[in-house]
Amino acid sequence: MSQIDIPSQFDVLVVGAGAAGLYTALCLPESLRVGLITKETVALSASDWAQGGIAAAVSPEDSPTLHIEDTILAGAGLCDRNAVEFLAQLAPNCIQSLVNLGVAFDRHGQALALTLEAAHSRNRVLHAADTTGREVTTTLTTQVLRRPNIQVIQQALALSLWIEPETDRCQGISLFYQGKITWVRASAVILATGGGGQVFAQTTNPAVSTGDGVAIAYRAGVILRDLEFVQFHPTALTKPGADRFLISEAVRGEGAHLVDNEGRRFAFDYHPAGELAPRDVVSRAIFSHLQRTAVDLATAHVWLDMRPIPADKIRHRFPNIIKVCQHWGVDVFHEPIPVAPAAHYWMGGIVADLMNRTNIKSLYAVGETASTGVHGANRLASNSLLECIVFGAQMSQIELENIGLPSEIPVLPSRKFSVDASEGNIQQAQLEALREKLPRLVWENAGICREQSKLETAIATVESWQQDFAALPLSQFLVALRPAEPANFDLPDVERQLRLWAETRNLLDVANLILKSAAFRTESRGGHYRLDYSQPDPNWQVHTLVQTHHWWKSSLLS
């Protein structure tokens, strides 16, 4: 891929190129010079993997009021009603905006086709076969690349926020790009980096989902919220050697059955809605059932049987699922799919208001990176893409107070880090070992079912690993860099080593945040389930908040 020079200054920097980042960039005023930063390419994000669709009350039989109530019910007492109303009421107009941009949703005749997903009371999920996320992000990418005011900077990794100490305002970021570290100024920075599924050994997220936005915000003193709430998707393909490919909620919405080895629809043992219960309920039902019936939990699975769905509908609605399952030797027309839960979506994140503002001036957060209050303790299916679009659209109203940034930027000499090949290889091996064992630890101790003793053991282990990480020569060099101080490297395979270092650092912070938040909340609610506190506690109908090393509760929610 051809590399380009990065200007030292933009009006706005958007970090992340999934649905949230792309749509945000498009909605920013075209008079602004926008830098869109992505650590991979604009074609690779978790949004691109989103299959089910995007929820909106566009049918005469539906209404935003019903969408609001379904969302609040799924959120288990922690949704912000104002935010949910904002989301649902703006949804139809946002769908029209996507159609106007060229997103080709499926149709029945002239009408948009709508399907049912778990915990929705109406058919309200728009889709493009079973690759809705890809259709949306591909269309948005095409539009972004046509905009002369947007400069896309690919294979660039945001390392830290650049905070002005006198005003506590975000004035840019440090960036690893083309083998060196540079500092880029902006009047506003928008974090849209997605989730952190890679902190779990079993996840439906792509390899890029390492919690970067939440981690760099945490280190800069940004307030975070509800980090214990992770959604585990109930039905990820479970085959030796296969990625945990997500089998969409829409499959069950269209009539597929979740069955055990005896062919019994066991989910009804756990909830009257069976396989159409909320995701957290279905995931726990599978986990609990496997605990009672499986020999080896690591490879155990149940079955998703698509055969109750008419074959023509399967071909029309789920061509990508057919293709992926065939690749792994499963013929969905004649046999069920082996599935088990996997980490899918992070409800918590950076506290942001309806205009995406954080507690740090000139810093914004959009999409899964943010915690706007729309999801509460458990996200309703197909509200994630919707959140990206509805909240991304609000950035059209951005007010930049510092559009004329001070032109005087201190020019500091570049520092150089170098090690010999042997030392570089040792350091890389240490990083790779950390990167391999951390997700296993978090999955085993903060996965679907949690308890205090295991959480405390895992916290101690992660803190020990953080000390080991901090002792690495590369860590000591990078952490000591002053704001605006550039750096270059004499390292073997520098691009790989720096990315491995940065992502491992972020994952260690994310793991620590999830584990401590899960230990702090002594109840079960939504996506957070504790074996030792198995019921919701009315006194815990609060948000958990964290800033730097301080955890506290919000006031009780009504």
**Rounded to two decimals, what is the model's pTM?**
0.94
DSSP 3-state of 134: helix
**386, containing H or E segment:** helix 384-393
Single out the residue of 182, 201, 199 nearest to residue 409, CA to CA: 182
Size (the chain), residues = 558
Output helix, strand, coil percentages for the chain, rounded to the nearest 5: 40, 20, 40
User: Could you state, in order of their start, the residue ranges of all structural domains in the chain?
Assistant: 9-229+345-397, 233-342, 415-541
Q: What is the pLDDT of residue 407?
A: 52
State the CB neighbour count (10 A cutoff) for residue 200. 27
Single out the residue of 513, 501, 493 nearest to residue 160, CA to CA: 501
146 a catalytic residue: no
CATH level 3 topology of 415-541: Methane Monooxygenase Hydroxylase; Chain G, domain 1 (1.20.58)
The CATH classification of domain 9-229+345-397, taken from the options 3.40.50.2000, 1.10.3980.10, 3.40.50.2300, 3.50.50.60: 3.50.50.60
Its CATH architecture, for the domain 233-342, is: Alpha-Beta Complex (3.90)
Q: What is the 3-state secondary structure (H, E, C) of 289-318?
A: HHHHHCCCCCCCCEEEECCCCCHHHHHHHC
Distance CA(53)–CA(50), nearest Å, equals 7
- pLDDT tens-digit profile of 437-480? 999 999 999 999 999 999 999 999 999 999 999 999 999 999 99
Distance CA(531)–CA(539), nearest Å, equals 18
Catalytic residue among 124, 134, 279, 525: 279
Distance CA(169)–CA(476), nearest Å, equals 26
First-to-last CA distance in the chain?
A: 52
Contact 214, 351 (CB under 8 A): no
What residues of the chain score a pLDDT lower than 70?
1-3, 43-52, 297-298, 402-409
